[in-house]
Amino acid sequence: MSQQNPYWYKISNTTPRLRNHAKLHRQEQRGMLWYVMQDQASGRYYRFTPQAYYFIGLLDGVRTVENALQHTEQVLGEDAPSQADVIRLLYQLHAADALDGKFIPDPLEADTRGRTSVKRKRMQQYLSPLAVRVPLLDPEQILVRMRPFARLIFSLPGVVIWLLVLIYGTSVAVVNFDALTDNFADRVLAAENLLIILIAFPLLKLCHEFGHGLAVTRWGGEVHEMGVMFLVFMPIPYVDASSSTAFRNRWQRAWVSSAGMYVEIFLAALAVIFWAMIEPGIVRSILFNVALIGSVTTIVFNLNPLLRFDGYYIFSDLIDIPNLGSRGNKYFQYLCQRYLLGLPDAVSPVTAKGESGWLFVYPIASFIYRIFVVSLIAMFVISKFFIIGVLLVMLSIGLLIGLPLFKLMKFLLFSDRVHSSGWRAYTGVLIISALLFVALFKAPFPLTTYAEGVVWVDEAAELTAAESGFIQTVGFSAGSQLRPGDRILGLENNELTTEMSALEARLHALNARYQAELVNDRVAAQITDEEIEHIRQRLDELVLKTGKLNLLSHTEGTLLISNVDDLPGRFLKRGEMVGFVVDPQQVRVRTLIPQSDVGHVRERIESISLLLSDNMSTELPAELIREVPAADDSLPSPALATTGGGRIALSPTAGGDKPKTLNKMFHFELGFKQPPLLPRVGQRVHVKFMHGYQPIGYQLLDKLKQLFLKEIRV
């Protein structure tokens, strides 16, 4: 006989039974047998062990709870549920309105659950910073008529057709990759294309949601709710496919979760195929956007298991852990109550081998990612609608951080379980709080500023062709030490040679004619003499140009030139740069610092280290040479821009010849303490400024402040 529970007398003589709208389904998860109760009235689902299922099966409205438990203990022995388990089970069923007959719940707990259940659902529905759902219709009859079609697309022939279309569409996308990605950002963000996206996105998502509904119908489930979800103010269709939770086969449940992406990717592949066949126009633009939305956005967002979208449910079914998110949160509550507060009655949600690791890791990763996503959304809204964005930030902080802290404080101050634990619970909380405070606001943490720069030399070090010509000889190899006057390259220009030969022959003929005319016609001789002088001037110019075909070193230094073996025979245009002659001690790094970080760089620098893009394993010490006092929007090198692989955004209004940064930045010039032997001028450099140490809490607050000020353009 179970040990007498102080609350047992309240329910032992009651005669409850399950209501007709509560149905039980058998499932196997991680090798263990479970029963899932489907509440058809509320659409909620509850899991029970076989022992609990056996006990529930004895509740027929006539037998008392006491008699049902005694019979269960006779049959199951030590595996029978305890009185505390029975009380918890009956209160859970009562809160779900799944019990009928005479049943007297604990007044306080029943009242609390009854009043807060609806409020909590309503708050989650309308105050979520990610989405607000508005139910519109019951699509069950439509889906029932489409059941033959559902059986086709979710069958082996349907999957084969899907794979063939996907493979063909992928091959078309690979062949036309350059055409699909050419000027990608400008095409997507163009005003007319955004209008197409606003129309195509909801329609494609409607097909996505019908995919979920068809999958539920395919395996005998029902869908009774369809509506619109406003995701960051954008309307997106949704269906309630929760009836798949009762499916016995987990692969069927995973099919339902992935059905939306299954349909959407199929449509994207078809769109790519037809896009390649159609001439440019509005139809081709629509197909391009369907392919983009159905492939990239589906994989990036829907497949992500850290948000409560399709990827989350697929992941939960594949690892066979239902309710992964909520059970992970309960597992954290259990760990805190059991090991931090020392509550011996804390109940672990772990029910099978191997679940504890997933339940520990997932809520941490999910919480961090939710913070990241909500922050991005909030900053985007702030940049467009300041007041709404600020309210969204406050709401997000309240829901993600404030509400859990409020519940924690309420539990610590008013829970009888905490009071019964005595000093240990409060001591544990104080110790953890003190450790967190010290870790965030007292423990030193490296304070660094990261930036990108480019290897730079003075313009006088540039080796440029003074005249156009083909390279015939190369006098020195890369890395050679040069002195002023050393001949580096020898060029040849046949046009200059041919013109000089023709002018010399013309000059010889004019001299002979001048001698003859000097005797017979002095006026004609004077005209010929002027022509001779003009040709001599042109020959002098050609001789000067011919001399410039030799590229000479004007300074002393190291020759920096690439692909020396490929230079012979190459044509150089006048003014084209082929290399540098530099003093390694004069090589500099020019870097750009945004306004949010320039304060630390100006106030204190303990050390500077550089990582060259072609040698990321070796840090090179550097020193600050000078700073341009005022910020400007000039760009030292295209390699620093996002178009060149860097991190600096360019202004869309600037011309192509002189690109400008989107925001004004501060220019700093750095020098190598130990210059590299053969620096590549123009290569990207990763710069790290060390400013000492500062607690990470203050660093985070400073980053949030700078991010906020940046978004509101202060």
Q: Which domain holds residue 544?
A: 461-579
Is position 139 within any domain?
yes
Exposure b/e, 406-415, CB count within 10 A at least 16 = b? eeeeebeeee
Residue 144 lies in a domain: yes
Instruction: Answer for the pair 463, 551: CB distance below 8 angstroms, yes or no.
Output: yes
Residue 266: predicted pLDDT: 93
DSSP string, 631-689: -EEE-S-GGGBGGGTSSBPBPTTS-SSS-EEEEEEEEEEEEESS--SS--TT-EEEEEE
Return the amino acid letter for 328.
Answer: G
Give the phi and the psi of residue 27 in degrees, each rounded to 5.
Answer: -140, 155
CATH value at residue 103: 3.90.930
**271 and 137 assigned to the same domain:** yes
3-state helix, strand, coil in the chain (%, to 5): 55, 20, 25
Determine the pLDDT at residue 273. Answer: 92
The reply to whether 231 and 143 lie within a common domain is: yes
Sheet containing strand 234-239, strands side by side: 131-137, 226-231, 234-239
Find where tokens 């313009």 sit. Answer: 459
| Phi, psi dihedral angles at 692 (to 5 degrees) | 100, -140
- In angstroms, the CA 360 to CA 329 distance is 8
Phi first, then psi: give them for residue 104, nearest 5 degrees. Answer: -115, 100
Domain assignment of residue 701, yes or no: no
Are residues 179 and 308 both part of a single domain? yes
Q: Burial code of 525-542, b = ≥16 C-beta within 10 A, e = fewer?
A: beebeeebeeeeeebeeb
Which amino acid is residue 280, in one-letter code?
Answer: P
Give the domain-ending residue among 279, 296, 320.
Answer: 320
Per-residue model confidence as pLDDT tens digits over 163-183: 999 999 999 988 888 788 776
Asked if residue 238 and residue 304 are part of one domain, the reply reads: yes
In degrees, rounded to 5, the angle at the alpha carbon of residue 156 between the alpha carbons of residues 152 and 157 is 60
Q: Report the CATH number that the domain containing residue 673 is assigned in CATH.
A: 2.40.30.170
Tokens of 447: 């304070």
- The single-letter code of the amino acid at 161 is I
Tokens at residue 411, please?
A: 């539990």
Name residues whose C-beta falls within 8 Å of residue 638's C-beta, 6 or more positions apart in sequence.
644, 659
Q: Please tell me whether residues 173 and 228 are part of one structural domain.
A: yes
Residues β-bridged to residue 669? 590, 626
- Name 165's Cβ contacts closer than 8 Å, sequence gap at least 6: 266, 269, 270, 273
- Residue 391 makes CB contacts below 8 A (sequence gap 6+) with none
Rounded Cα–Cα distance for residues 32 and 24 (Å): 16
Burial category of 1 from C-beta neighbours within 10 Å (exposed 0-12, middle 13-18, buried 19 and up)? exposed
Question: Which among 104, 123, 142 is the end of a domain?
Answer: 123
Question: Given phi > 0 = left and psi -120 to 50 = alpha, else beta, which region is 232?
Answer: left
Domain annotation covers residue 354: no
Distance CA 200, CA 286 (A): 7
**Is 705 a domain residue?**
no
Q: Are 605 and 624 in contact (CB under 8 A)?
A: yes
Distance in angstroms (rounded) separating the CA atoms of residues 25 and 48: 10
258 Cβ contact partners less than 8 Å away, ≥ 6 residues apart: 310, 314
Closest of 66, 65, 30, 62 to residue 47, by C-alpha: 30
Tokens representing 187? 């095409």
CA distance 339 to 157: 54
Q: What local confidence, expressed as pLDDT, does residue 165 receive?
A: 92
Residue ending a domain, among 278, 294, 320, is 320
* Count of CB atoms situated within 10 Å of the CB of 617: 6
Q: Is residue 522 included in any domain, yes or no? A: yes
Tell me: the pLDDT tens digits for 555-574? Answer: 788 888 877 777 888 888 88
Buried b (16+ CB within 10 A) or exposed e, 119-131: eeeeeeeeebbbe
pLDDT attached to residue 102: 56
Q: What is the pLDDT of residue 194?
A: 78
**Residue 32: in which H helix or E strand, if any?**
strand 32-39
421 lies in some domain: no
Task: Identify whether residues 573 and 507 lie together within a single domain.
Answer: yes
SS (H, E, C) 88-106: HHHHHHHHCCCEEEECCCC
Give the separation between CA 317 and CA 323, rounded to whole angstroms: 9
Which tokens is 67 given? 């008699």
Asked if the structure places residue 413 within a domain, the reply is no
Mark whether 551 and 618 lie in a shared domain.
no
Could you give the number of structural domains in the chain? 4
pTM for this structure? Answer: 0.61
Instruction: Identify whether residues 664 and 597 lie together within a single domain.
Output: yes
pLDDT at 523: 79
Predicted local confidence at residue 44, as pLDDT: 67
Whether residues 137 and 115 fall in one domain: no
The identity of residue 120, as a single letter, is R
The predicted structure's pLDDT at residue 156: 92
Assess contact for 162 and 262: CB atoms under 8 A.
yes
State whether 164 and 188 are in the same domain.
Answer: yes
Contacts of 147 by beta carbon, 8 Å cutoff, 6+ apart: 217, 218
Residues of the chain with pLDDT under 70: 1-7, 21-22, 38-45, 96-97, 101-132, 183-189, 231-234, 377-390, 392-393, 417-422, 424-425, 653-657, 707-714
Residues 182 and 292 in one domain: yes
One domain, residues 99 and 42 = yes
